[in-house]
Structures are given as structure tokens and as C-alpha cells.
Amino acid sequence: MNDNHMEALAEALPQEALARESILKNYTTIKCGGPASLLLEARNEQEVALALRLARQHNVPTLMIGKGSNLLIDDHGFEGLVIHFGDQFAQVSLEGTTLTAQAGASLMALSRLAADNGLTGLEFAIGIPASAGGAALMNCGAYGGEMSRVVSFVDCLSPEGEPVRLNKDEIGYSYRSSRMMREGYTVLSVTMELVPADMAVIRQRIDENQAQRRERQPLTYPSAGSFFKRPEGHFAGALIEQAGLKGYRVGDAQVSELHAGFLINLGDATSRDFMELVGHVQDTVEEMFGVRLEPEVRIIRAPEA
């Protein structure tokens, strides 16, 4: 890729939805990340498909961002095209027990909508600051629930920008992964099948989940959520705590003193701070327990980093 390719792509995209050098820390919950060469605000499926095809044609890398709750982006930014699925790509419909949401819809809002209509299945999601698309892509979950249990199908674009519908048995869900993630599909919308239940019971579960989050998670600081995947037979947070790393910090990046599975931004942490902290945590835990922690958070590195 060169500047001519980037400029050709920029000229071919809808100018009213396009921005240059947008600072990506403003699009992530951990508040890190440098500029994107180009950022397109997703408005409809046709524009997203066109953008993917043009980016492929001009050999420009692409990155999809929803709520940015599971991303750590390099301080150098992203040299390519970022497509942001925000409020302009967040329509939701509910027909009976079938809930359909565009990729940019808030997962927490969907959880509340389901509860308000006496539908169970999304109580686990009440405190997860993710988009519907990102949640379906990575099979996010908490408190015994996860997306794979409610998703019936997803409408996607292939890496070439062609429309694809994947049914539940085609998605290939596994722990914090899916076929979409592994093969580079872009989620456009998610259709979920929920179950009628007693509204009082649903609300009680939601209240309990919210109370646990407030008690156990460092919600007052920017973070990317639980940073590491759960290693087989262990809990990442417990291993980190047992390694004596609670409160350990590099710059303004810190292992939370409340929950060691969370890495928090105390104010002005850079992605370099976080990467140094991640490496130290991984090395220390591996040295002490023989377990190499794998990030759950998607780490977007710049080519020169």
C-alpha cells in the first residue's frame, strides 16, 4: 500500500461520512490509540460493502470498530480504513421472541429491551459495553451466558464485500471466537431467538449481575474489560493475583487492585504502557505457574511497532 492507493480510496468513498486522521482513543473504552488514516461512519450496508470492495481493490487494510470495548490500538494508530459502526448503524427490531439488531446497537440496550418485554437470554449482557456486532463476532459472555446461546443467524459481508448469511450451525462458535472472527467476516446484523419468562425473575437476574459488576469490577476507570482469556483449569485474574501483581503498573497502565483480570487506564496510559504491562504479566504468571495467558482483547499493532 502507498499514499496513492489511500488517496484513491478516499476519493471513492462517500465524503460526508468520511474523516481523516481521527484519533482512535476516542472510539475505545480503554482510551488508547493513535490516528486512523481514514474513518468511515457506517450508514448502510451498501456503503460498507462498497468500502470493503474498494479497500481490497486498492490494497488498503481495514479495521471494524463498534463500541471499542475489546480493543487495544497502537499509539501509532491504524494506517488504513477504519469502519465505525455507531449510532447510524444501530437499528433494532423485536417481533415476538425474535430480536434483530444492526452491528452498532448497544448490547446493554438490547438486554434492557429484552427484559422490558419479558424475554430471557440476555441478562448476562446487561453490563457489557459492547456492540451487537462485536459481541456476536467474539462470542462475548459473562455470568454463565454467552452470545452463542441466543444467536440464530448473522448477516455478514465476506472479506471481499459479498453478503453472506450464517446460520447458528455455520457460525462455528467457540470460547471467545467464531468463524466470522477467524475468517475475517464483517458482521452487519445479528438475529437472536429469546424465550418468554417471568419478568420479575429476569429483572432479579439483571439486578444481581449489575450488583456483582459494581462490587467486583473497576468500573470507574477506562479498561477493555477482562483482558485475558480463561486458561483451561484456571482463572486468569486469580493467577495474576497469586503472582502478586495486583496494583502493578507501567506508566498509567495498571493491574486493577479490585480485580486482577482487568488492566485499567489511570489517566494517560499509552498502548506501549499496556503492552509492556501485558508482557510482564504473561512472563510472571508463566514463570510461576507454567501457564501462558492469552489476551482476550484484540490488539491492533502498527506495522512499525
Residue 95 and residue 83 share a domain = no
- Active-site residue identified among 111, 131, 148, 226: 226
Residue 244 and residue 161 share a domain = no
Q: What is the pLDDT of residue 159?
A: 87
Q: Is 207 contained in some domain?
A: no
- Domain boundary (54, 70, 87) is at 87
Q: What is the pLDDT of residue 305?
A: 39
Residue 128 and residue 99 share a domain = yes
Domain count, the chain: 3
- Active-site residue identified among 69, 176, 178, 256: 176
152 catalytic? Reply is no
Helix (H) or strand (E) holding 275: helix 271-289
215 catalytic? Reply is no
Do the Cβ atoms of 265 and 252 come closer than 8 Å? Answer: yes
Which triple of cell numbers denotes residue 61? 487494510
Residue 154 and residue 108 share a domain = yes
**Which CATH number characterizes residue 73's domain?**
3.30.43.10
Q: How far are the Cα atoms of 249, 256, 289 from residue 239, in angstroms, in the given order? A: 17, 13, 8
Q: What is the pLDDT of residue 302?
A: 77
Q: Where are the alpha helices (DSSP H) in 66-121?
A: 107-116
Residue 65 bridge partners (DSSP)? 84
Spatial neighbors of 203 by CB under 8 A, at least 6 apart, are: 115
Rg (CA), the chain: 19
Which triple of cell numbers denotes residue 132? 451487537
Do the Cβ atoms of 39 and 22 come closer than 8 Å? Answer: yes
Q: What is the pLDDT of residue 240?
A: 98
Q: What is the pLDDT of residue 3?
A: 78
Q: What is the pLDDT of residue 4?
A: 85
Q: State the Cα angle at 64 between 260 and 51, rounded to 5°.
A: 175
Q: Work out the angle between the directed axes of helices 199-216 and 107-116 (0-180°, nearest 10).
A: 150
Alpha carbons 85 and 261: distance in angstroms, whole number: 27
Q: Is 47 contained in some domain?
A: yes
Residue 182 and residue 141 share a domain = yes
Residue 197 and residue 287 share a domain = no
Residue 98 and residue 83 share a domain = no
Domain that holds residue 234: 218-300
Q: For the chain, which residues score pLDDT lower than 70?
A: 1-2, 303-305
DSSP 180-246: HHHHT-EEEEEEEE-EE--HHHHHHHHHHHHHHHHHHS-TTS-EEEE-B---TTS-HHHHHHHTT-T
Alpha carbons 45 and 88: distance in angstroms, whole number: 11
- Active-site residue identified among 41, 123, 146, 296: 296
Q: What is the pLDDT of residue 303?
A: 64
Q: What is the pLDDT of residue 1?
A: 56
Residue 77 and residue 56 share a domain = yes
- Give the global pTM: 0.94
Nearest to 62 by CA among 158, 199, 143: 158
Q: Is 250 contained in some domain?
A: yes
Do the Cβ atoms of 245 and 255 come closer than 8 Å? Answer: yes
Residue 193 and residue 119 share a domain = yes
226 catalytic? Reply is yes
